[in-house]
Chains A and B, each alone.
Chain A
């Protein structure tokens, strides 16, 4: 059968390109601490955190067709779990804090997801938004537990059992924590890649395209949506832990709806169709915001304008733009080599 074998070859080719590109990207990021300023490096740390959150959000939006406007809820849960564990319980290991954050997010995501995934589109968005706002008010109102407006502090953690308290804040963030987060990004990306390519991922895409038809083909629409929701919440919690460990603080703004909006902004900016989209979106957002904040006090207005332009002119995001460009290049190359 010649037809399947050529497509098989094309798929393998595409995978090789993706792996090559990924290795190159990782190499650049790994070498960055040697050349970039500490200021830039401390900004890349949140890029890594957000990239992980966006991978989870992409599973919901890109793969499952569910756009959450309350996903910051799970970043906040990760951050507050870090604060409680390091502050109140004396936990020192970041690995344990990550597991604790994930566990807390899963416990919350199961009931929230159970109620939300019965709906799609704007109804799903509104429900998730409401749950996010609910949690935000909880953080503000129960200030004797949560510290209210000021939030809670997060103590310095050990990485893989290593006590790094002798390092300064900047040394910690631009050295060990930077690489720790980079490894987490790589692991989170590979894991998500497997999940999206799996039969589970296929059924998620089927229900996204046509839920009724999918049901009659035996797709367990609600159960799988819930599983995707819980997984993306776990990714959000990992991001929240990293953000809180970096800033040394968990504050209620993390759960505020504008933070959820920023996650959606980053998703749109990077594009939700590929696995580099999250990294690109997070990177573009954070550096763009930093640049605009230094230029004008109307930076929010400028960000809004840019979002409008991206939606109209680059609907598949910056990563989609790059993918189109490489496809065009490859096609040209193929044509030339065939001649």
Chain B
């Protein structure tokens, strides 16, 4: 028995003959804020997809609370306390912001199968929707259909709806891409505060902005060409210039 929430045992992933992710071992425990960094194509999204059961590992296993994630499937993972956002903007175009958050809130309270009650007049749900929208600054957008939101707002809504599940672990794939630098910090602040408020125990975050990573993450997993080149506490990570150079996509010093 371990205290890890997510456990990866020599999991790898290939697409045809291409190895997107070489076998990796990883354990994510309660209280951690893990950043996954690396250049484009390093395998970050593939890793998160393995962690959330969206992709099956080609070898090895991934478990959440001791159970195989690809066997659990997304719905049971959500019920057990795992939530994720997506790299490419994914919203429900015809649903309003309030409805989008309510989708998660109804799942969380196990009230989705109520056929005859009105989805708009459930006090508990409306309370949760208001709190989450407030935390993510979406309060004046509540009645807007998601398709009319600005790109950055869509991204926020994706993250906000994941938070509305009140998960124990949340995995986010570049939640700040396409957002201005000032807004990036605001989003990260929001993430940290919302995580504390809603009892999120662990955050896994793919992020390109090293400034943000250095400020908010506690542990950093560096990927390069499908391999883990470093998995260390933040302070040990940034003191290693060679590793930093590799994850930001430049060859290390003295390479040529």
Query: Is the C-beta of B239 less than 8 angstroms from some C-beta in chain A?
Result: no
- Chain B: CB-nearest residue to A231: B115
- A229 CB to closest chain B CB (Å) equals 15
- B69 CB to closest chain A CB (Å) equals 12
Given A4-B142, A214-B103, A217-B78, CB of A198 within 8 Å of CB of B119:
yes
A199 to B99, CA, bound (A): 10
Contact B162 A217 (CB under 8 A): yes
Among B52, B83, B95, contact of A206 (Cβ-Cβ < 8 Å)? B95
Given A7-B143, A200-B113, A202-B119, CB of A217 within 8 Å of CB of B107:
yes
Contact B90 A213 (CB under 8 A): yes
1/0 contact string of B102-145 vs chain A (CB within 8 Å): 11101110011111111110100100001000000001101100
Query: Is the C-beta of B161 less than 8 angstroms from some C-beta in chain A?
Result: yes
The interface residues of chain B lying within 8 Å CB-to-CB of A217 are 78, 83, 103-104, 107, 161-162, 164-165
Contact A199 B142 (CB under 8 A): no
Contact B114 A199 (CB under 8 A): yes
The interface residues of chain A lying within 8 Å CB-to-CB of B125 are 199
Of B54, B99, B112, most buried by chain A (CB within 10 Å of CB) is B112
A210 to B94, CA, bound (A): 10
1/0 contact string of B182-194 vs chain A (CB within 8 Å): 0000000000000
Contact B115 A216 (CB under 8 A): no
A199 to B121, CA, bound (A): 10
Of A1, A195, A203, A217, most buried by chain B (CB within 10 Å of CB) is A217
Query: Is the C-beta of B84 less than 8 angstroms from some C-beta in chain A?
Result: yes
Contact B75 A195 (CB under 8 A): no
A202 to B52, CA, bound (A): 24
The interface residues of chain A lying within 8 Å CB-to-CB of B103 are 202-203, 206, 214, 217, 219
The interface residues of chain B lying within 8 Å CB-to-CB of A4 are 130, 142
Query: Is the C-beta of B178 less than 8 angstroms from some C-beta in chain A?
Result: no
Contact A202 B74 (CB under 8 A): no
Contact B52 A216 (CB under 8 A): yes
Tell me the residues in window 179-213 of chain A with beta carbons closer than 8 Å to chain B beta carbons: 194-195, 197-203, 205-206, 208-210, 212-213
Query: Is the C-beta of B91 less than 8 angstroms from some C-beta in chain A?
Result: yes
The interface residues of chain A lying within 8 Å CB-to-CB of B83 are 216-217
Among A1, A199, A212, A215, contact of B112 (Cβ-Cβ < 8 Å)? A199
Query: Is the C-beta of A3 less than 8 angstroms from some C-beta in chain B?
Result: yes
Interface of A is mostly: helix
Query: Is the C-beta of B237 less than 8 angstroms from some C-beta in chain A?
Result: no
- A315 CB to closest chain B CB (Å) equals 15
Contact B99 A198 (CB under 8 A): no
Query: Is the C-beta of A11 less than 8 angstroms from some C-beta in chain B?
Result: yes
Given A199-B112, A202-B99, A209-B95, CB of A216 within 8 Å of CB of B122:
no
- Chain A: CB-nearest residue to B82: A216
Contact A205 B94 (CB under 8 A): yes
Query: Is the C-beta of B216 less than 8 angstroms from some C-beta in chain A?
Result: no
A199 to B165, CA, bound (A): 15
Given A203-B103, A203-B106, A216-B78, CB of A194 within 8 Å of CB of B116:
yes
- Chain B: CB-nearest residue to A191: B116
A200 to B117, CA, bound (A): 9
- B207 CB to closest chain A CB (Å) equals 20
- B53 CB to closest chain A CB (Å) equals 9
A202 to B118, CA, bound (A): 10
Given A206-B92, A218-B104, CB of A195 within 8 Å of CB of B115:
yes
The interface residues of chain A lying within 8 Å CB-to-CB of B120 are 11, 197
- B54 CB to closest chain A CB (Å) equals 8
Among A199, A219, A220, A224, contact of B119 (Cβ-Cβ < 8 Å)? A199
The interface residues of chain A lying within 8 Å CB-to-CB of B84 are 216
Query: Is the C-beta of B31 less than 8 angstroms from some C-beta in chain A?
Result: no
Contact B139 A218 (CB under 8 A): no
Contact A209 B75 (CB under 8 A): no
Of A194, A208, A210, most buried by chain B (CB within 10 Å of CB) is A210
- Chain B: CB-nearest residue to A3: B140
The interface residues of chain A lying within 8 Å CB-to-CB of B117 are 198-199
Query: Is the C-beta of B93 less than 8 angstroms from some C-beta in chain A?
Result: yes
Query: Is the C-beta of B238 less than 8 angstroms from some C-beta in chain A?
Result: no
- B37 CB to closest chain A CB (Å) equals 23
A203 to B104, CA, bound (A): 9
A170 to B93, CA, bound (A): 49
The interface residues of chain B lying within 8 Å CB-to-CB of A197 are 118-120
- B residues near A, CB below 8 A? 52, 54, 73-75, 77-79, 83-84, 86, 90-95, 99-100, 102-104, 106-108, 111-120, 122, 125, 130, 139-140, 142-143, 158, 161-162, 164-165
- A residues near B, CB below 8 A? 1, 3-4, 7, 11, 194-195, 197-203, 205-206, 208-210, 212-221, 224
Closest 3 CB pairs of A and B: A218-B107, A218-B78, A209-B92
A-B CB contact pairs (8 Å), 28 listed: A3-B140, A197-B118, A197-B120, A198-B116, A198-B119, A199-B113, A199-B117, A199-B119, A200-B112, A200-B115, A201-B119, A202-B95, A203-B106, A205-B94, A205-B95, A209-B91, A209-B92, A210-B93, A212-B90, A216-B78, A216-B83, A216-B162, A217-B103, A217-B164, A218-B74, A218-B112, A218-B165, A219-B103
